[in-house]
Amino acid sequence: MSLRTRMLLLALLPTTLVAVLLATVFLLHAIDNLEQGLRTRGAAISRQTAATAEFGIFSGQRDSLWLLTESALRIDPDAVGVAIIDAQGAIMARSGALSPSGWPALGRIEGRRIGPDVLLFAEPVRRSTVPVDDIYAGAEVWRAAESKVIGHVVVELSLQEVSRKSKWLIAAGLSIAMLGAVLGAWLARRIARAVTDPLLEANEVVARIGEGDMTARMAAESAGPLRSLAGGINDMAERIGVTQEDLRARVAVATLDLLREKEAAEHATIAKSHFLAAASHDLRQPLHALGLFVSGLSQSDAARHEPRLVAHIQSAVDTLQNLLDAILDISRLDGGNLIPKIGSFPLGRVLDRLADDLSLLAEQKGLQLKLRTTRVWVHSDQQIVERILLNLVGNALRYTRAGGVLVSCRRRRGVVRVEVWDTGEGIPEHARDEIFEEYVQLGNPERDREKGLGLGLAICRRLAALLAIPLGVRSRSGRGSVFWVELPLVQPGAPGGSPDGAMPQPGHVADSARISGTVLVVDGDALVRTGMEQAIVGWGGSVVLAANREEALRHCRQSRQPPDLIICNLRLAGPVGGIALAQQLQHEFGNMPVLLVSADVSEEAQAAARGSGFALLKEPVPPGRLRAALQHLLAGR
């Protein structure tokens, strides 16, 4: 029900209920009075007639008795019949229409119904004479003489007039009740309208204000007794309007500031990306040349006199290369530049590579490295999974002083959980989320590079989020830690597998083998060319150097025999890149093997190399990997 209907009912129901109750009480009382008055009159007529009929009955004068009945009949208009009966029950006189058949045993009867509309009254006629000679006999003799019944007076009164008056009273009472209800409804409606109309208007105004219409106001002159409420709502709306305008102005200013900050952040992100791209290229090339120089230095006479110095230089180069790779990996992951290549592959192949790559590190630290191989196939990016596990196992070996590291696999409901167990010192509970942040290392306040850079777990978390796979840790202080990652299972040999690649990993080739043949090195960086020359000559090969396309073509055309292998930078000065130059040299001088090197680690560069079919190594290239790649390509020539 609406508010107006509820207010109307609230005002109308009490008044209507009171009016009905009052009318009912009044009607019942009036009707009872009518019938009681009829009974009183009937009793009076019967008693009066009985008192005057004693002599007539005793003397047997029927005419006088008839006159008495006629007189009694005329006394009350509701009287329908009067009769005088002797002691034997014989009617001595009667007037009016009587119903003797409906009479009960006569005695004193005061208003008994003998029909739907007739009341019967009967009064005994008693003999009241007292013997003269016994006047002093006492009250008992007088009562005995008085109690003798010599007849009865019977009076019948009609209830029709009482019924008619009762109906009239009921009609009048109902009319009065209806009139009172109508008047009450009218008053209730007036009162309800005086209250509900302003309330409804206030509700509408508040709703409009809630929808943003700050011009909504209540008419104070029509609010009646709620004028103060209307004034309060109007004042509230005005204040809200002022506040909203102020808020809008503040929001506009804040939005403008946020847009400026967003643009500044975007420019900073772009600048950061450009800086990292430039740093990736500009730092990797001299670092690549430095690695080659250190490799050449390790084979020189100076290395035999200062082996520790050369080892320290090599360690510094390796640390610098690892730091640069980790920072660039973080940048690529944060920038969304790494797109996973999802496929199916055997997990055991990844674990075998981990054993090959990390067994030497475990042996150097005197730790046991156990990898329980498995035959399950998983559906994910093989290279990213291998990178995650390599970081987890490497961290476990780095932070474990005694005991060993165990890598195990557990199947559970469509996934396989790869767990890396170690016997290290464990991780406190409060630091188990913190260790996945950048540059966070526990137990290394002096930032010892031997314990890593604090980026491995941060990279693992980003790589796991990229693959949408869970990564977690369990640990107990003093009892070691368990890092785990879950991978979705597939059936062995499922389609979409990621192949190992046509070229085997260069690190698997024996480093002790020497190379033979002529290598054409095309690179725009003089340090890189010099380092390549020193390293390749030290490995037993011969080198032809070229800084650009023109020099490479000139050397090949002037030489009696084309080079046995081409090492070409992906980026060269001029309009022709390394891939196009290598393809031109192959077309002109024969299908010689090509090895691309590049400091560009973007997906576009890798996709271009894969499309050409040439092998690609990312600078800085470790000398051992470079030598293994040259041995493989020259052997397959």
- State whether 602 and 537 are in the same domain: yes
Is residue 320 a contact partner of residue 451, using CB atoms and an 8 Å limit?
A: no
**pLDDT tens digits, residue range 597-624?**
887 767 787 888 888 888 888 877 788 7
- State whether 545 and 484 are in the same domain: no
- State whether 160 and 12 are in the same domain: yes
Q: Which two tokens stand for residue 530?
A: 């010099």
- State whether 480 and 512 are in the same domain: no
**Domain span holding position 519:** 508-635
* Residue 335 within any structural domain of the chain: no
Q: How many domains does the chain have?
A: 3
* Residue 65 within any structural domain of the chain: yes
Asked if residue 620 has a cis previous peptide bond (ω within 30° of 0), the answer is yes
- State whether 493 and 352 are in the same domain: yes
- Going by their DSSP bridges, the two strands 91-96 and 109-113 should be labelled as unpaired
- State whether 523 and 472 are in the same domain: no
- State whether 417 and 548 are in the same domain: no
* Residue 32 within any structural domain of the chain: yes
Is residue 457 a contact partner of residue 427, using CB atoms and an 8 Å limit?
A: no
- State whether 519 and 478 are in the same domain: no
Over range 294-312, report the average pLDDT.
70
Predicted pLDDT at 175: 84
Residue at a domain's end among 116, 146, 166: 166
Asked if residue 104 has a cis previous peptide bond (ω within 30° of 0), the answer is no
Residue at a domain's end among 497, 517, 544: 497
Is residue 83 a contact partner of residue 153, using CB atoms and an 8 Å limit?
A: yes
**pLDDT tens digits, residue range 192-226?**
666 666 767 777 777 777 776 767 776 666 555 56
* Residue 128 within any structural domain of the chain: yes
Q: Is the pLDDT of residue 504 over 50?
A: no
| Pure H helices in 306-372 | 307-334, 347-364
Q: Which residue has the higher pLDDT, 415 or 513?
A: 415
* Residue 176 within any structural domain of the chain: no
Predicted pLDDT at 567: 92
**pLDDT tens digits, residue range 124-180?**
988 765 555 555 555 555 454 556 888 888 988 888 888 888 888 888 888 887 887
Predicted pLDDT at 319: 64
Q: Is the pLDDT of residue 426 over 70?
A: yes
- State whether 358 and 417 are in the same domain: yes
* Residue 257 within any structural domain of the chain: no
- State whether 357 and 477 are in the same domain: yes
- State whether 516 and 487 are in the same domain: no
- State whether 467 and 553 are in the same domain: no
* Residue 243 within any structural domain of the chain: no
